Amino acid sequence: MSSLLKSVSAAALGLVLVACGGQDRVSADAIAAEEAAIEARAFLTRVETELAAMNREAAQAYWNQATNITPETNAAAAEAGAKATKLVVALANESKQFDVNTLPPDLGRKIRILRSGITIPAPSREGAAEELAEITTGLDATYGTGKFEYKGRMITLTEASNIMSASRNPAELKTVWEGWHTISPPMKDNYARMVNIANEGARELGYPSLDQMWLSNYDMPPAEMEAEVQRLWGQVEPLYKELHCYTRTKLNQRYGDAVQPATGPIRADLLGNMWAQQWSGIYDIVQPPTAPVQYDVTQRLVAQGYTPVKMVETAEAFFVSLGLDPLPQTFWERSMIVQPEGREVQCHASAWDLDDEEDVRIKMCTQVNSEDFYTVHHELGHNYYQRAYKDQDFLYKNGAHDGFHEAIGDFVALSITPEYLRQIGLITAEEMPGPDADTALLMQAALDKIAFLPFAITVDGWRWGVLSGATKPEDYNKAWWDLRTKNQGIVPPGERPADAFDPGAKYHIPGNTPYLRYFLSFIMQFQFHKAACEQAGWEGPLHRCSIYGNKEVGKRFNDMLEAGMSQPWPDTLEKFTGTRTMDGSAIIEYFDPLIVYLKEQNEGQECGW
């Protein structure tokens, strides 16, 4: 402690003694605690200043690399990543001088965030950060530039995904599915090496392994968080099993026993999505024979001349209708909204905050279709969250937990109801579906929302095994499919090669993006939606409610966002929903009419796998 800080401390304690008339002595422990708090506050002031500057530098390097993948931008991103990792690890190690349990709560919270906040930590030994940065940048670039040969030419993930959604030829689907999964085997050895280095870094920071470090970001012990995930999954798993049973029956009717048996797991390539994580691509196969929805959002967007930019403008208008400010002009000038010609880019949709103030952007290879119409609402949710907490201290500039960040845009997108589509002119009043179309509407939603839930817990479930050391590199692929079959009830379309590394064919694995956040967000977005509809005085079915234009809800919504990570997430959740517990019951309420329909349709079927 500096002499100046010691003088301040002594003066403060002297005032306490005078006020007490000298009758009580301040204990040595109290003096030490006061001095530790002053030291910790000075340390954190320096930490936040240094991290804010480093974050701006690294964010620009990562943006440059993601929007123009070249050897030069890869090298610059790796250099920035190594520099940032070194700084965070050094500061986190320096923080060990403080006992977070004896500091004032705000200081202890910040130090905990500092220690667990880096996703892939490097140990402080010479060369480790540089090696780790080179590996992570290389993994990201390998995925971003991934292509495979199909019908005599090299195709990208975007092209392959379009085939997976549109084709009804099982041989073609198998070929394309297997083709995309050829991009990932070269990642496996580097991925395993990265895990070893990152675990070394996590242990240096005081965690037994990296999975425990990740699970320490939820204001509860890791074991309690794992139990919380299982509790939430238990609430919604019965609905998924009904949807799985119904979908398998429809696929069996379409393709026959030789392609999709009537019992057991579902073939992963038949579900309209490269990872079988969302099934809306096969709605035509599973659509109920009840009153249909008379419009196709993609067709309406195209017919009305929507461009990718206009879709983003429409999403912005939703947030503005809630009373939030329009996006800054720099958003429109600096975002990558469409895929640029003549350069390799990372097309995976993402939202960026490059200066922790106003320089927010999105990166998408946006196409004019219903899927991307929803996606732009999701990504702008991140940007509006980033802007809302921009006045918080640097270490608090984040979501209450990572599930909050993912839930915000999807919560808004739940208000993309038929009434909202009418309000913005995509459909007419005559085309508004009546109550007899509710089953069709809910089926469309369930294929995205419910089908996703077991995939979301599978990605990090697999990764926790890898990061803890329980799953060895030689077992990576087997563990992946064991877990996918257990949770999702799906299997690959054929025998997998001995060198397969199928997890790497999903961006969030080589991109090192924790995935539990998505599972939590899918739970919480419905919880937010129910709370918002109650605030708005909505009295109809939950799936018909839209908060578009409701500024009173928008005010409470923004108040929640402004808190950032400055308090435990139950406090932030309570601010908007009135409850301190994440809860899947709102999903069950939302889909209740569909649950009744699915149970009727599945009667007599051998459900499960």
User: What are the residue numbers of the active site?
Assistant: 348-349, 378-379, 382, 406, 508, 518
Q: How many CB atoms lie within 10 A of CB 126?
A: 7
How many secondary structure helices (H) and strands (E) does the chain include? Answer: 24, 6
Q: What share of the chain is helix, strand, coil (3-state, %, to 5)?
A: 65, 5, 35
CA 483 to each of CA 223, 462, 463: distance values in angstroms, whole numbers, following the listed order: 19, 7, 11
> HSE-up of 252 (CA within 13 Å, CB side)?
15
Neighbour-count burial of 333, counting CB atoms closer than 10 A to its CB (0-12 exposed, 13-18 middle, 19+ buried): exposed
Beta-carbon neighbour count of residue 409 at 10 Å?
Answer: 26
The gap between the terminal CA atoms of the chain, to the nearest Å, is 63
For 185, the token pair is 């085997």
Alpha-carbon radius of gyration of the chain: 26
Q: Tell the residue number behind the tokens 């940007």, with chain if given.
A: 383
Strand-pair partners of 361: 352
Question: How buried is residue 387: exposed, middle or buried, by Cβ count under 10 Å (0-12/13-18/19+)?
Answer: buried
Q: Which two tokens stand for residue 207?
A: 């965690």
To 10 degrees, what angle do helices 438-468 and 476-488 make?
A: 150
> Which residue type, as a one-letter code, is found at position 137?
T
Within 10 A of 328 (CB to CB), how many other CB atoms are there? Answer: 16
CA distance 230 to 224: 10
b/e map of 98-122 (b: 16 or more CB within 10 Å)? bebeebeebbbbbbbbbbbbbbbbb
Taken in order 546, 552, 556, 559, is the CA torsion positive or negative?
positive
CA 380-552-409 angle, to 5 degrees, is: 20
Question: Which residue type is seen at 20?
Answer: C
Please compute, for residue 151, the number of CA atoms within 13 A of its CA located in the half-sphere on the CB side: 7
Evaluate whether 132 touches 65 at the Cβ level (below 8 Å).
Answer: no
Q: Which element (helix H / strand E) includes 267?
A: strand 266-267
Q: Distance between CA atoms of 559 and 536, rounded to whole angstroms?
A: 16
Judge whether 529 and 542 are in contact, CB under 8 Å.
Answer: yes
**Count of Cβ atoms closer than 10 Å to residue 558 Cβ:** 19
CA distances 557 to 340, 350, 384, 391, 465, Å, are 35, 22, 11, 17, 36
Q: Cα separations (Å) of 358 from 33, 310, 422, 543, 575? A: 38, 21, 32, 34, 25
Dihedral of alpha carbons 365, 371, 372, 377, sign: negative
DSSP at 507: T
Q: Are 561 and 210 in contact (CB under 8 A)?
A: no
Does an H or E element contain 150, and which? strand 148-150
Q: What residue type is 260 in one-letter code?
A: Q
